[in-house]
Structure 1
Amino acid sequence: MIDVARRAGVSQASVSLVLNDTGGVRVADATRQKVREAAEELGYRIWRRSPVGSGSIRTIGLLVDDIGSNPLSLNAVEAARERAWKDGCVLVVLPIHGDKDLERCAIDLLMAQRLVGIVYQSYFTQELTLPKVLRTANIILLNCYTRDPNVPFIIPGHADGARGAVAALLDAGHRRIGFINGKSSVEASRHRLEGYRKAHEDRGLAVDPELIRDGDFTIGPGERETTVLMALRKPPTAIFCASDRTAVGCYEALKTLGLSVPGDVSVIGFDDDPLASIVTPPLSTVRVPHARMGEIAVEYLLGRAAGERAAGSVTSRIACDYVARESVAAPRRRAPRAEAGTRRRVRAELPLEAGK
């Protein structure tokens, strides 16, 4: 309010009277207009909470950039809904799809509710710039973060999760471990690659650059890049995939090459997609705990609204645990070899750079 008063050229008391719409006190219309314009320019809003005894429904808002592309993120939404309802709160989910006008309207809609707080969720783990109006709100970021240390956030521990998965392969005796990553522009991909490298460093092992391939978290590149890896003169005995869907593509390529999982090649995925438990053999993976993240976010908002938590006091990075299933075994003494005819055909079809 001091900033608004300075911008409007009025006293802080006048700002308080105008923004709190205090009754029984006369404030000149010109002063009201100055205060409102200054507040709008600074992105200042009064964060209102209705009294506990009021008859309106308590709500928790969830702003999400994309609710359809990643079905796994819906686990966070569903868990948040269940946790909110335990405390008599209704979760209001508003997809905004990167539309700033829609985002402003969604925030205005939430501000008009008997609002406990807001969860701001991102599809990809990323740094973002929070709208000014939300910077002083009871808010927590889910799968995203800002540089402001006062804004609490929860993101998955991608690097440590990948490190644990590769460690499991190293423990099984593998030393040539292929890695099919997601898009290099995505933060989660960079962190998962970091974990892959770190697991090797932990054992004093060098990373062979030819074993690292970029994909896009989907099945097609998983199949294509597995074929490239297995066409190397010294192919991997295990492949770590940056997503379970990539691992499904990896399975398909190995089957086409006449190789078995885990008899010839061990495979680990990432995410714990429902697909992981129904493929044959069931896929070892790394679980991203979306549901628990949703619960923690709502618990934080409820706690802070009740005065039990200070701003920023929340777990920032949540563990992604390794889930052992049936796709990992000790390597054979010899490197896996595709059937001769298939291998010659694959080499002939690959681009020249594939064997680098």
Structure 2
Amino acid sequence: MATRAVTMQDVADHADVSRTVVSLVLNNRRSVHIAEETRGRVREAASKLGYRPNASARALARQRSDWYGLVTEIVTAPFAVEVIKGAQDRASLDGKYLLIASTDSDPDAETAAIEQLLEQRVEGLIYATTWHRPVTVPALAREVPTVLVNCFDVEGRFPSVVPDERAGGRRATERLLKAGHRRIGLLNLDPDIPATVGRRLGHHDALREAGIPIVDELEVSGHATADGGFVAAEALLNLSTPPTAIFCANDRMAMGAYDAIKERGLRIPSDVAVVGFDNQVLIASYLRPALTTIALPFALMGAQGVELLAAMAGGQPTTTQTVTIDCPLIERASV
């Protein structure tokens, strides 16, 4: 049998005061004079009875809830969960918490989730995705401050926080150039997604700055999987003059490239160096040799998303700016 929740009236009866006095004490209202002995008696009664304030009623009265809503597919994915940790850690600095709604990229589920979060009077929304892409956000999100993380609104209505794909691609190639490589292959992702475009542009930036021509045969696109990386790496290794280093546009493709290199009796990094992208730790740390890679800054993106949201909820002007977050190099042993 369920236990009845302790009410403010129960606390008042136990402390032998009025319900109004209990409300003033528990809401720390100092504008009304109440003896410290009475305040102490009320707090002691509330603690002894296990009283908890009604969050919904308090949110209604204060017109704020101390909650942010997070609408995301990430909770069902093995990747990008650091977005949630980064967002919660940053929110907690302001005494805020996250209400998380899992949607699995279903538009109807997203709309329903946002409706439920708005009913809980969240002060703002974070809309986050597993991989960097354009999205269409349900119109309901415009009712409160909303920030997109690892994605951007196709209509440009909301501010977004995304990884600096181009700078990351440049950094990966610069690492290979620093190791003395001049014939560098690129295993890229499926065409036209932001990661594909940005990482390729950064790769080209680094080559041009080093005075190295861009050679079409050294760039191969494939599926963003280990199998896709294996097939694409095979194509590069079959060239009459194969590359001495390969930049893989994600770590799963790098895992396939490792297999293609090793099947030919070649060694990493002495025969072929490899750099990945994403820093999927379960892959990058446990490949042999461990994979040098570019990290996607999921935790920082989540934290920056909440930083923007807090500013907007605090009344700062809403903008449709895009904030890019740097992608650092994680040095291991494959270069």
The two structures have a TM-score, normalised by structure 1, of 0.72
Q: Deviation digits for residues 38-62 of structure 1, max 9, x if unmatched?
A: xxxxxxxxxxx97697598532111
AA paired with 2:183? Answer: R
Q: Matches of 2:130 and 2:89 in 1, distance apart?
A: 20
Number of the residue aligned with 1:292? 300
Distance 1:177 1:156, change over 3 A: same
Three-state SS of the structure 2 residue aligned to 1:236 is coil
Q: Matches of 2:246 and 2:128 in 1, distance apart?
A: 31
Unaligned runs of 5+ in 2: 1-56
Deviation at 1:286, TM superposition (A): 0.5
1:208 equivalenced with 2:207 (yes/no):
no
Number of the residue aligned with 1:61? 69
Q: Is the 8 A contact 1:221 1:249 kept in 2?
A: yes
Equivalent of residue 222 in structure 1, options 205, 217, 229: 229
Distance 1:111 1:55, change over 3 A: closer
Distance 1:68 1:215, change over 3 A: farther
Three-state SS of the structure 2 residue aligned to 1:263 is coil
1:278 equivalenced with 2:270 (yes/no):
no
Equivalent of residue 121 in structure 2, options 97, 114, 121: 114
Q: Matches of 1:134 and 1:50 in 2, distance apart?
A: 23
Give the 5 Å matches for 1:271-350.
Answer: 271-274=278-281, 275-307=283-315, 309-312=316-319, 316-328=323-335
Number of the residue aligned with 1:73? 80
Stretch deviating more after TM superposition (128-137 or 257-266): 128-137
Unaligned runs of 5+ in 1: 1-48, 329-356
Three-state SS of the structure 1 residue aligned to 2:175 is helix
Could you say what the CA RMSD is over the residues aligned between the two structures, in angstroms? 2.5
Q: Is the 8 A contact 1:58 1:114 kept in 2?
A: no
Distance 1:222 1:315, change over 3 A: same
Moved over 6 A (4+): none
Q: Deviation digits for residues 131-180 of structure 1, max 9, x if unmatched?
A: 22223521101111135556211000111100111011112221110111
Deviation at 1:64, TM superposition (A): 1.5
Task: Work out the number of aligned pairs and report it.
Answer: 279
Deviation at 1:194, TM superposition (A): 1.4
Q: Matches of 2:253 and 2:156 in 1, distance apart?
A: 35
Number of the residue aligned with 1:184? 191
Three-state SS of the structure 2 residue aligned to 1:217 is coil
Three-state SS of the structure 2 residue aligned to 1:114 is coil
Q: Matches of 2:82 and 2:284 in 1, distance apart?
A: 16
Stretch deviating more after TM superposition (254-263 or 220-229): 220-229
The two structures have a TM-score, normalised by structure 2, of 0.76
Number of the residue aligned with 2:274? 267
Q: Matches of 2:63 and 2:326 in 1, distance apart?
A: 40
Q: Is the 8 A contact 1:124 1:186 kept in 2?
A: no
